[in-house]
Amino acid sequence: MLSDAFDYLTDGSSWSGPQGIGAYLGQQLLLTAAALLLSAAIGLPLALWLGHRGRGGTLAVNVSNIGRAIPVFAVLLVLALGPVGSEQLGPFGRAGLATLIALVLFSLPPIITNAYVGVREVDRDVVEASRGMGMREWQVFRTVELPLAFPVVMTGLRLALVQVWATATIAALVAGPGLGRIITAGFANQRTSQVFAGALLVAIGALILEGLSVLAERRLDPMRVAKRQRS
C-alpha cells in the first residue's frame, strides 16, 4: 500500500488536470485562507476590544463554547442541501460556500478565546503605568497591550489555521472542493493506497502550515523585533 501510495503521489498525471492533486491542493489552500481571513476579521476586533475593556469575558467564553459544540459536518450538510451558495461563486461553488461558512464557525472559538485572554493577561500594572504617563486608550492598546498579547493571539490563529486545513477535507462529502476529493474517490474505487495518499497530503500540509505560522509569529512578534533592533 505504501509503495502504491508513493507511486500515485510521484506520478505526474496524478497532479495534472481539473481532477488532479494540484487542482485540489489549490482549492484547499484557497478555502483554508478564505475561512481563516473571514474568521479573523469577525473574531479578532471583537475579542481584542472586549479584552481591552475588561468586559464581556462571559460573552467571549460562551461564544467559544457554542462554537466548539457545533457539529461541523451537520452544519455543512444543512447548508449544502439548503439554499446556500451559488454555482457561479468563483472557485467555491455551492458546496464550497457551505463549507466556507461551516469552517468560519468552526475556527472562531480559538481566535476569540486566545485574543481575549491574551489582552487580559497583560500585566495590569504595566497598563496602568502607561495610562499614568498620559497615554490615551488607543495608544495603550496599540503600544502596550497588543505587542504583549501578540504571541497568545498568534497561537489562536495558528490553532485555527491547522484545524481549518484538516477539517476542510470534509467538503468532499458534499461534493465540495479540496483534497478530500482524493480520499472519497479512493473509497469509491476501493483504492486504499489513494485514500492513504490523500490523508498523507493533508497531514503533511498541516505540518507545513504549522511550521510556517510559527516562523511568521517569531518574525512578526513586536517584542522580538524590538529586541533584534536593540541588539
pLDDT score for 86: 47
Containing 90, the helix (H) or strand (E) segment is none
Q: Which three cell numbers stand for residue 6?
A: 508513493
Rounded to two decimals, the pTM is 0.86
d(CA 204, CA 211) in angstroms, rounded, equals: 11
Residue indicated by cell numbers 511550521? 211
pLDDT score for 128: 87
**Cβ–Cβ < 8 Å for 70, 123:** no
Residue 201, CB-side half-sphere exposure with 13 Å CA sphere = 29
pLDDT score for 88: 45
CATH topology of domain 2-230: MetI-like fold (1.10.3720)
φ/ψ (deg, to 5) at 2: -60, -40
**Closest by alpha carbon to 186, among 72, 19, 29?**
19
Per-10-residue mean pLDDT for the chain, 231 residues long? Answer: 82 84 90 93 90 76 68 71 54 72 87 90 87 86 90 94 90 80 88 90 94 91 79 68
